[in-house]
Structure 1
Amino acid sequence: MEKSRLMESKKCFCDTGLWFENCCGLYLQNNQKAPSALALMRSRYSAYAAHNADYLMETTYISERKYYSKAEILKWATANKWQKLEILSSTETTVEFKAYFLDANNKSQTHYEFSTFKFENNAWFYVDGKFE
């Protein structure tokens, strides 16, 4: 509960400038569905920063989940210090972005991805991504 209260009183991880509770917290904590692929992508970045592997698995398209391990997601999420999210472009079903983080050795890293999303059963899901 204490961690949750701390998260609510800070700016959102996804760099919208909004408070977490009024941004990605709506999806990560209040079980609301992200209204767009872009909102889902932002909330998934916040889930990495908040170490919420359950949300990341739940928002991955069902046929793709077998390629992911909740333990590995959590390990990668917690090993890095998430710094900033930069949206490069987006369409209804794709988002191109860069996520900046410090790795376990405190070295600056950039994760580039062109992600694809699918809307099914009244919810958006992450399908896959192309990386550089």
Structure 2
Amino acid sequence: MSACHCGSGRPYAACCGPLHAGAENAASAEALMRSRYSAYVLKLADYLLATWHPDTRPSELDLAADGTKWLGLEIRKHVQPDDTHATVEFVARYRIAGRGHRLHERSRFVREDGCWRYVDGDLLGAAG
């Protein structure tokens, strides 16, 4: 079994795979963050849109033309002050046209009807 792209160390089939297939909902905002990172790696635009809060969701994502190569995810902090709100600070490393970049973000999540959704995020530190 291949390791999950999210960096959990677990096999994909026992980690983000069931979320991507719609068989399970993410148990936490961190689990959703990890599954969304894996979805970017695998170019699963439908999953990304489905897990984005409708108030902030773009109308479409074109990942097929995206030349990004995702290299790794590091979760720095997960804070859940109550049952319906959480933040996840992460660093994602990637390459575009051979040049390395880092995305350092503090993302906001809400849980509605038992499902976590990505709302938005604040960029932290220098990008690139």
Q: TM above 0.5, one fold?
A: yes
TM-score tier (shorter): 0.7 to 0.9
Q: How many residues align?
A: 119
Instruction: Give the alignment partner of residue 81 of structure 1, picking from 66, 69, 74.
Output: 69
Structure 1: distance between partners of 2:21 and 2:6? 15
| Structure 2 match to 1:69 | 60
Q: Pairwise mapping of residues 1-132 of structure 1 onto structure 2 (< 5 A)?
A: 9-65=1-57, 67-71=58-62, 74-75=63-64, 78-92=66-80, 93-103=86-96, 105-132=97-124
Structure 1: distance between partners of 2:114 and 2:33? 16
Name stretches of at least 5 consecutive residues in structure 2 with no aligned partner: 81-85
More strand by share: 2
Determine what percentage of the aligned residue pairs are the same residue.
38
Under a length normalisation based on structure 2, what TM-score does the superposition of the two structures give? 0.87
CA offset digits 1:25-62 (Å, max 9, x no partner): 11012431001000000000000001000000000011
Change (3 A) 1:68 1:86: farther
Please give the root-mean-square deviation of Cα atoms over the aligned residues, in Å.
Answer: 1.4
More helix by share: 1
| Structure 2 match to 1:3 | none
